[in-house]
């Protein structure tokens, strides 16, 4: 199965370099995406441009691909399910929850000169980054790409309720499945609250398991591809 890999803010397709060979060895075809504005030099890219790139990859797949969204890109994966509910085999959300219709894609970090730069490790101290050694932190930070403002502040638009029938796996790295269930029950993720098929996978890692636990993450994705 084609497994489309979409990294979160500041990351390009190379974020999946350690996961790709593991997925290939497990018999799947990983397709890491470098999104417009996150590695291609397009500082004027928009959220619509990023979604168009994801949908192009979905449409290019010979069958129904599994769409994986990490962190903020959980929303992009969910937007793909919304736009192609009959073409997507399933969605895997790694450490992230999809934004609701009308919300900003990523409004949590400040904009500086038309882009959202990587803010350093301060905001991620604790469970998010506890499993990363200094070398891994340096590697992630040095590869980080400022995200264009029109991506980060782009407004999410969801239109097709058939998305709720697409199977979803929520991978819980820096939080537990029990915590995720509590958040969803409390109304913090109205989109996942309506998902008809939602499974939880506990992965004892930080926010970047593709770096800290690539083999384990690949196994989780391969299992999700069994839908």
Residue 116: strand pairing partners = 147
Q: For the chain, 227 residues long, give each residue's pLDDT as a single digit of tens.
A: 999 999 999 999 999 999 999 999 999 999 999 999 999 999 999 999 999 999 999 999 999 999 999 999 999 999 999 999 999 999 999 999 999 999 999 999 999 999 999 999 999 999 999 999 999 999 999 999 999 999 999 999 999 999 999 999 999 999 999 999 999 999 999 999 999 999 999 999 999 999 999 999 999 999 999 85
CB atoms within 10 A of CB 174: 20
What pLDDT sits at residue 227?
Answer: 56
**Facing residues of 180 across strands?**
none
Burial level of 215, CB count in 10 A (0-12/13-18/19+)?
Answer: middle
181 contacts: CB under 8 Å, gap ≥ 6: 200
pLDDT of residue 25: 96
Q: Which of 85, 126, 105, 82 is nearest to 35 (CA)?
A: 105
The token pair at 27 is 């018999």
CA distance 81 to 58: 10
Reference 87, options 51, 114, 60; nearest CA is 60
Q: Which of 155, 158, 152, 153 is nearest to 195 (CA)?
A: 158
3 state SS of 210:
helix
Q: Give the integer Cα–Cα distance in Å for 207 and 145.
A: 17
Residues 6+ positions from 49 with CB-CB distance below 8 Å? 36, 37, 42, 151
User: Which position has the token pair 């069958």?
Assistant: 63
In this prediction, residue 226 carries a pLDDT of 84
- Residues 21 and 227: their CA atoms lie apart, in Å, by 21
The pTM of this model reads: 0.97
């Amino acid at each position: 199965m084609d497994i489309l890999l979409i990294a979160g803010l500041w990351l390009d397709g190379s974020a999946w370099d350690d996961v790709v060979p593991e997925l290939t060895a497990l018999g799947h075809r990983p397709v890491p995406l470098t999104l417009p504005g996150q590695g291609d030099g397009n500082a004027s890219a928009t959220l619509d441009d990023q979604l168009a790139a994801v949908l192009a990859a979905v449409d290019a797949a010979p069958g129904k691909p599994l769409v994986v969204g990490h962190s903020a890109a959980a929303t992009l994966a969910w937007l793909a399910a919304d736009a192609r509910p009959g073409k997507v085999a399933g969605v895997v959300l790694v450490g992230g929850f999809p934004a609701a219709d009308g919300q900003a894609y990523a409004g949590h970090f400040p904009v500086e000169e038309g882009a959202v730069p990587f803010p350093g490790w301060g905001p991620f101290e604790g469970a998010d980054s506890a499993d990363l050694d200094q070398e891994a932190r340096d590697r992630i930070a040095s590869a980080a790409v400022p995200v264009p403002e029109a991506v980060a502040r782009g407004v999410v638009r969801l239109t097709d309720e058939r998305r709720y029938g697409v199977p979803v796996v929520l991978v819980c790295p820096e939080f537990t499945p029990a915590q995720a269930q509590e958040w969803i029950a409390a109304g913090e993720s109205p989109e996942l609250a309506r998902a008809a098929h939602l499974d939880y996978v506990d992965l004892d890692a930080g926010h970047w398991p593709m770096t800290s636990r690539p083999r384990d993450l690949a196994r989780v994705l391969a299992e999700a591809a069994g839908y």
